[in-house]
Structure 1
Amino acid sequence: MTTLPDEVKTFIVQQLACFDAPSAVVSAVKDEFAVAVTRQAVEAYDPNKVQGQRLSEELKALFAATRERFLADQAAIGVSHRMVRLRRLDRMVNKAEAQGNMSLAANLLEQAARECGDAFTNKRQNEVSGKDGQPLLAGGIAVTFIDGPGKPS
């Protein structure tokens, strides 16, 4: 196999650091750079794999930095935002309805309602405390137990 250009190596290391599967990285490299690589060649750029132990220190450092940034910044991932998820669900619902797949559309609508916080149910939240979290009754409730008909115990 020929030596890969540095930008392809960097791309592979960054994709692996973001937990992409080697097979997904293979297809991404083919789409992005029009370069054919094997899954085994991609695994050689993962320092956590046996084949990646011989990886250069520069690429190991890039892998570690990319993984750390990836784990720390979930805001960079689109689907971590509720509005992005709702927009995607909206597109899927419209497509499912256009194709006549009402069962899928109903499931997607239910998922969208879950994203909004149980908006698809008629549940109500009942407050079980008084104003500002205080007890409902200041003095409590007096309970008298009766042993028999009309006799207090």
Structure 2
Amino acid sequence: MATLKEPVKIFIVQALACRDTPQEVAELVKQEYGVKIERSQVALYDPTKAAGKNLSKKFIELFNETRKKFDEGLIDIPIANKHYRMRKYDKLLEKNAKNTVMSLSILKQAAEDIGGKYTNRQEITGKDGQPLMSISDAELDKRIKEAEAKARQ
């Protein structure tokens, strides 16, 4: 196993806290720092896994703080989170930077996703954003009583 300097260890802990896989982190460490490490060594810096049970308190606190910030307002299923998807699009874009067609496709997908194209949210309003129907409380009470009377018959 390679001996890692403090900045590399911090990088690994934060990347794992941001839900990157050990393989992804190992590749990132090689790109960023020129240090080749194995997935098993990366796993030692994840306090949520058995391999990381002996991680120092300092790194556990860093991991938890980073994870909290990353997950703030997010749900437990990463792919359902827009922030997570945008990060994945960004990684794909970097991998396919020389492939213009693929890059444009990724950019289009990200734009559609961020623009809300893939939601089923609907907003129904009347003319100029006004309510579809305006009804007074007295009129509403009257209609409810009529409906109840009709239901009794």
TM-score (structure 1 length as normaliser): 0.55
Residue by residue over 1:66-109, the C-alpha shift from the partner in whole angstroms, topping out at 9 and shown as x without a partner, is 222222277xxxx54xxx8xxx9xxxxxxxxx85xxxx79x959
Secondary structure, counterpart of 2:62 in structure 1: helix
Q: How many residues align?
A: 117
Aligned to 2:39: 39
Distance 1:51 1:116, change over 3 A: closer
Give, in whole Å, the separation in 2 of the partners of 1:113 and 1:27. Answer: 32
Contact 2:125 2:132 in 1 (8 A): no
Aligned to 1:114: 117
Distance 1:73 1:118, change over 3 A: closer
Contact 2:13 2:46 in 1 (8 A): yes
Give, in whole Å, the separation in 1 of the partners of 2:41 and 2:18. Answer: 17
Amino acid at match of 2:25: V
Deviates more, 1:107-116 or 1:26-35: 107-116
Q: CA deviation at 1:129?
A: 3.1
Aligned to 2:57: 57
Contact 1:129 1:135 in 2 (8 A): no
Residue segments in structure 2 that go unaligned for 5+ positions in a row: 75-81, 91-99
Amino acid at match of 1:130: S
Aligned to 1:129: 133
Contact 1:130 1:136 in 2 (8 A): no
Give, in whole Å, the separation in 2 of the partners of 1:23 and 1:43. Answer: 9
Secondary structure, counterpart of 2:20 in structure 1: coil
Aligned to 2:94: none
Return the index of the structure with the highest Cα Rg. 1
Q: CA deviation at 1:51?
A: 1.0
Aligned to 2:15: 15
TM-score (structure 2 length as normaliser): 0.55
Identity %: 29
RMSD between aligned residues: 4.1
Residue by residue over 1:108-138, the C-alpha shift from the partner in whole angstroms, topping out at 9 and shown as x without a partner, is 597657269879xxx964545316xx36956
